[in-house]
């Protein structure tokens, strides 16, 4: 068995994405990988204590032990509450952009 694992740590902003490939010792935790990536120094808004993290789109705790080829994702907080945005649209009578069928009265 290899002594190291190959992983990626990813952090995305609205205008860019940082992907850091790393070779780390077997038994490395998610928190250790984020620290080793250097992204916490580059982006001080990343909070290891309160932030949300995942491995391939599934939420994971910072003490999760990583496996070879894992992709650690650092999630940013939501800017707006999706439920509130939907309520506001409904109150204004706006049609949602996604998922709806043909509008009433539309010709086929």
pLDDT digits over 64-96, tens only?
Answer: 999 999 999 999 877 767 787 788 888 887 665
What is the strand order of the sheet 52-55 is part of?
17-25, 4-12, 71-75, 52-55, 58-60
- The domain that holds 39 is classified in CATH as 3.10.20.30
Query: Does residue 36 lie in a domain region?
Result: yes
Query: Does residue 90 lie in a domain region?
Result: no
Query: Which pLDDT score, from 0 to 100, does residue 52 have?
Result: 94
Query: Which pLDDT score, from 0 to 100, does residue 84 have?
Result: 79
Residue 22 CA to residue 101 CA, distance in Å, equals 45
DSSP state of 87: H
Return the C-alpha torsion angle 22, 45, 59, 2, nearest 10. Answer: 10
Query: Which pLDDT score, from 0 to 100, does residue 29 have?
Result: 96
Residue 83 CA to residue 103 CA, distance in Å, equals 23
- pLDDT greater than 60 at residue 107: no
Query: Does residue 85 lie in a domain region?
Result: no
């Amino acid at each position: 068995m290899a002594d190291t694992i190959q992983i990626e740590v990813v952090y995305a902003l609205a205008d860019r994405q940082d992907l850091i490939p790393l070779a780390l010792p077997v038994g490395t935790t998610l928190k250790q990988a984020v620290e080793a990536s250097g992204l916490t120094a580059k982006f001080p808004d990343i909070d290891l204590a309160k932030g949300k993290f995942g491995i391939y789109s599934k939420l994971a705790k910072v003490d999760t032990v990583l496996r070879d080829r894992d992709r650690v994702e650092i999630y940013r907080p939501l800017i707006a509450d999706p439920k509130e945005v939907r309520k506001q649209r409904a109150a204004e009578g706006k049609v949602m952009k996604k998922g709806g069928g043909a509008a009433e009265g539309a010709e086929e």
